Amino acid sequence: MTRVSDPNTSLPTAAKLEIQMLHDRVLARLSGEEGERRSSGGIVIPATAQVARRLAWGDVLGVGNNVRNVKVGDRVLFNPDDQLEVEIQGEAYLVMRERDIHAMASERTEHGTGLYL
């Protein structure tokens, strides 16, 4: 027989659940490069400067079963304005489809451009 616990007693702390991405989804965290930047000529560009829509680099933390080209640990280039944001334990993450990723940077050299970060 199953017993229902008394509602007046405190419940044990909830177990932590592992997050698994589904289908072609990728979970990424923005890289910490959101502060002021320097141009190639050495000019300091403040974080509040308004620039055209800008792509951002992020670190891949999880991938779904149908993701073919991106692996956990890769750095990916994407448009952060077009992605869905989720907060997990006080930190913000982005969820996107693999097709929304414009480029990736990894140690695997397969079909590179010759450019390095």
Domain boundaries, the chain: 25-33+52-105
DSSP count for the chain of H helices, then E strands? 0, 8
pLDDT of 97 reads 93
Closest CA to 60 of 113, 23, 97: 97
Name residue 17's beta-bridge partners.
none
pLDDT average, residue stretch 86-109: 86
24-65 pLDDT, tens digit per residue, is 899 999 876 555 566 677 777 766 665 667 788 999 999 999
Please state the pTM of the whole predicted model.
Answer: 0.65
Closest CA to 88 of 35, 33, 27, 31: 27
If one counts every other C-beta atom within 10 angstroms of the C-beta of residue 83, the result is 19
- Range 25-33+52-105 has CATH code 3.40.50.970: no
pLDDT average, residue stretch 54-77: 90
Say if residues 36 and 44 touch (Cβ distance below 8 Å): yes
